[in-house]
């Protein structure tokens, strides 16, 4: 059975989906996106994802493609029609179709496209073993707080990780870790969870937001500050978060073992807390 996708108000089989080659998302990467996890057929952290979407659209002077209630219905209907119990909904909004000109067109409707992907989020074997990562230079633009569809720098970093036999790449600027190509970055030292504070330098991760709140409720100590790649090499634990991996342990950075080289106690506890929260909220 063909996957059903959503394009500008219509649910269609993926092979029938059509977007104009003159869409500014195609010509300029002029758009934003969100990825929302699905557990037990329910959307996870949907409200904060839409808050971030609203901010991204506002920063780029773009209109919502439909009402907020209609957009939630799009997500829920895609999950229902595709029978997704566990996976993600990817949704992107672009500035729409117009003659190629760098400045923004006037009175141009935005383009909405959304689809689902089945993924093993809960019983992810990498959560049991942990993953290896590499560090790469930070080469992105200065508005990383906007969830832009312009992801070439992240693709280059992810490819470098793949060629090194690693799962993810942490981007490093002036010796300091910013974030992963598709994840937020954390280390643990002496029982303290350390992660970079929010700014234009990193994306305000939704999973990050939820996890830090859960950690604070359990009196797990948190420091939001810059940390260096050298500090990461010497950490007791390291992990990443994202909507598609939740909390994933890191056991090796640039060929150096992190801590004991196995998922750490705090990382494991945080993953359990997040999963419990996500399932109870759904």
Residue 193 pLDDT level (bands cut at 50, 70, 90): very high
CA 230/CA 212 separation, integer angstroms: 23
| Cα 38 from Cα 60, distance rounded (Å) | 28
How far is the C-alpha of 216 from the C-alpha of 12, rounded, in Å?
A: 43
3-class secondary structure, 56:
helix
| 42 included as an active-site residue | no
For the full predicted model, state whether its pTM sits above 0.95: yes
What angle do helix axes 206-217 and 46-59 make, rounded to 10 degrees?
Answer: 130
The pLDDT of residue 216: 96
Beta strand 86-94 pairing with 42-43: unpaired
Residue pair 53/93 in contact (Cβ under 8 Å)? The answer is: yes
Both tokens assigned to 145: 């707080």
CATH number of 125-281, picked from 3.40.50.300, 3.20.10.10, 1.10.1060.10, 1.10.357.10? 3.20.10.10
- How far, in Å, CA of 53 to CA of 145, rounded? 11
pLDDT of amino acid 18: 98
Instruction: Select 4-118's CATH number: 3.40.190.10, 3.30.470.10, 3.90.1150.10, 3.40.50.170.
Output: 3.30.470.10
Query: Interhelix angle for 46-59 vs 68-81, to 10°?
Result: 130
Q: Is residue 282 very low, low, confident or very high in pLDDT (cuts 50, 70, 90)?
A: low
- Residue 32 pLDDT > 80, yes or no? yes
- Reported as a single tens digit per residue, the pLDDT across 91-150 is 999 999 999 999 999 999 999 999 999 999 999 999 999 999 999 999 999 999 999 999
* Residue from 68, 147, 158, 162 carrying the catalytic annotation: 147
Confidence of residue 281 (pLDDT cuts 50, 70, 90): confident
Q: Can you say how many angstroms the Cα of residue 27 is from the centroid of all Cα atoms in its chain?
A: 23
Q: Where are the domains of the chain?
A: 4-118, 125-281
Q: What's the pLDDT tens digit per position in 203-228?
A: 999 999 999 999 999 999 999 999 99
Over 70: is that where the pLDDT of 256 sits? yes
What's the pLDDT score for residue 129? Answer: 98
Contacts of 94 (CB under 8 A, 6+ apart): 23, 24, 25, 26, 30, 31, 110, 111, 113, 149
């Amino acid at each position: 059975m063909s996957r059903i996708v959503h394009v500008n108000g219509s649910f269609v089989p993926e092979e029938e989906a059509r977007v104009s080659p003159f869409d500014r998302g195609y010509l300029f990467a002029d758009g934003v996106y969100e990825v929302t996890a699905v557990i037990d057929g329910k959307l996870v952290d949907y409200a904060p994802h839409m808050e971030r979407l609203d901010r991204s659209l506002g920063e780029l002077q773009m209109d919502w493609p439909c009402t907020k209630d209609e957009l939630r219905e799009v997500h829920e209907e895609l999950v229902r029609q595709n029978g997704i119990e566990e996976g993600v909904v990817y949704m992107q909004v672009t500035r729409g179709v117009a003659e190629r000109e760098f400045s923004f067109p006037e009175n141009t409707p935005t383009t909405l496209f959304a689809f689902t992907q089945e993924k093993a989020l809960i019983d992810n074997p990498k959560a049991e073993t942990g993953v290896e990562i590499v560090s790469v230079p930070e080469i992105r633009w200065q508005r990383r707080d906007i969830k832009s569809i312009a992801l070439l720098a992240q693709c280059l970093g992810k490819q470098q990780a793949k060629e090194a036999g690693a799962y993810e790449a942490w981007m490093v600027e002036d010796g300091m870790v910013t974030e992963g190509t598709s994840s937020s970055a954390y280390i643990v030292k002496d029982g303290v969870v350390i992660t970079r504070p929010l700014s234009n330098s990193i994306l305000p991760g939704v999973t990050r937001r939820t996890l830090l709140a859960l950690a604070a409720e359990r009196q797990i100590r948190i420091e939001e500050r810059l940390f260096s790649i050298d500090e990461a090499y010497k950490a007791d634990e390291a992990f990443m978060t994202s909507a598609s991996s939740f909390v994933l342990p890191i056991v090796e950075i640039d060929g150096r073992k992190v801590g004991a080289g196995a998922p750490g106690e705090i990382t494991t506890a945080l993953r359990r807390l997040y999963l419990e929260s996500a399932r109870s909220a759904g």
